[in-house]
Amino acid sequence: MSTTYHERRGQIETYFDRTAAEAWARLTSDAPVSGIRATVRAGRDRMRGTLLSWLPADMLGMRLLDAGCGTGALAVEAALRGAQVVAIDLSPTLVQLAGERQPREAIALAGGQIDFRSGDMLDPALGEFDYVVGMDSLIHYQAADAVKVLSGLSQRSRRAVLFSYAPSSPALQLMQAVGKLFPRGNRSPWIVPVRRDKLDRLMATDTELVAWRGARTERIASGFYTSQALELVRA
Ligand SMILES: C[S@@+](CC[C@H](N)C(=O)[O-])C[C@H]1O[C@@H](n2cnc3c(N)ncnc32)[C@H](O)[C@@H]1O
């Protein structure tokens, strides 16, 4: 992978493991949050619902990779459908929280399981999966790096790769402008908005992704949250 990927990965790890770990823990909990954060939480809930609606209702015996799992909400839902989930994130702090939050008994009753790990979602040692899902995990990478990550993930997936990206939009541009007003340490790593045509062009020239095509897609916009879900299936 490129130097820009490794550099950005380091920044993302610092951000989610330290700078924003507490805020992220709260955003992904049931604790009350105000204004803008509430719209983000609502948007993220809808995004998770959309990605989950593209997965089978019964996942007993299927393997799923939750790539960039954060505090693990999607991994839990898949495991409650019986899936064998590997949930990985760069941030050991979030992974530990995810492990503590999982409803172990309900998951076991459903026949599912979650193996939480901290590390890089591209680690080949993770093995092969029926489905790979990356909810908002690529939004901080330059488009070319995000596509290389997708290329790597597609090699591990038998059926589909579901992910979301930040589409170019006025709301995102505004959010970035607002971000510039905060002191450096409080800023989130830049979200990199990507246009669908650029994504398609990059995917078309990737040696792995030429064998895949975009299928279902849906944009979720809720206050300061805008993200586009995309399903990749074998062409
Ligand atoms: C915006 S958060 C989304 C978390 C989770 N998918 C969710 O929707 O709640 C992005 C997450 O991706 C993780 N991430 C980014 N790049 C990663 C990589 N190369 N390997 C593993 N995790 C990564 C970050 O650490 C962060 O927790």
Q: How far apart are CA 16 and CA 117, in angstroms?
A: 15
Residue 103 in this model has a pLDDT that exceeds 80: yes
pLDDT of residue 150: 98
Q: Domain 3-234 class?
A: alpha beta
Which strands make up the sheet holding 212-222, listed edge to edge? 113-118, 84-89, 63-67, 129-134, 157-165, 225-234, 212-222
Domain ranges, ordered by start, for the chain: 3-234
- 141 Cβ closer than 6 Å to some ligand 1 atom: no
Structure tokens at 46: 């809808």
- 89 Cβ closer than 6 Å to some ligand 1 atom: yes
Ligand 1 mean position, distance from CA 117 (Å): 12
Instruction: Please state the rounded mean pLDDT for residues 126-135.
Output: 98
Atom of ligand 1 nearest to the CA of 120: 20
Atom of ligand 1 nearest to the CA of 71: 9
Instruction: Please state the rounded mean pLDDT for residues 49-64.
Output: 98
Q: How far apart are CA 79 and CA 70, in angstroms?
A: 15
Residue 218 in this model has a pLDDT that exceeds 60: yes
- 162 Cβ closer than 6 Å to some ligand 1 atom: no
Residue 14 in this model has a pLDDT that exceeds 80: yes
The 10s digit of each residue's pLDDT in 147-197 is: 999 999 999 999 999 999 999 866 666 666 666 555 455 556 688 899 999
Please, is 32 exposed, middle or buried when counting C-beta atoms within 10 Å of its C-beta (0-12, 13-18, 19+)? exposed
Q: Which of 90, 97, 140, 165 maximizes ligand 1 atoms within 8 Å of its Cβ, making it the mutation to test the pocket?
A: 90
Instruction: Please state the rounded mean pLDDT for residues 71-90.
Output: 98
**Residues 61, 38 contacting (CB under 8 angstroms):** no
Ligand 1 mean position, distance from CA 211 (Å): 25
pLDDT of residue 178: 66
DSSP one-letter string for 153-203: HHTTEEEEEEEEE-B--HHHHHHHHHHTTS-GGGPPPPP--B-HHHHHHHH
Instruction: Please state the rounded mean pLDDT for residues 70-75.
Output: 98
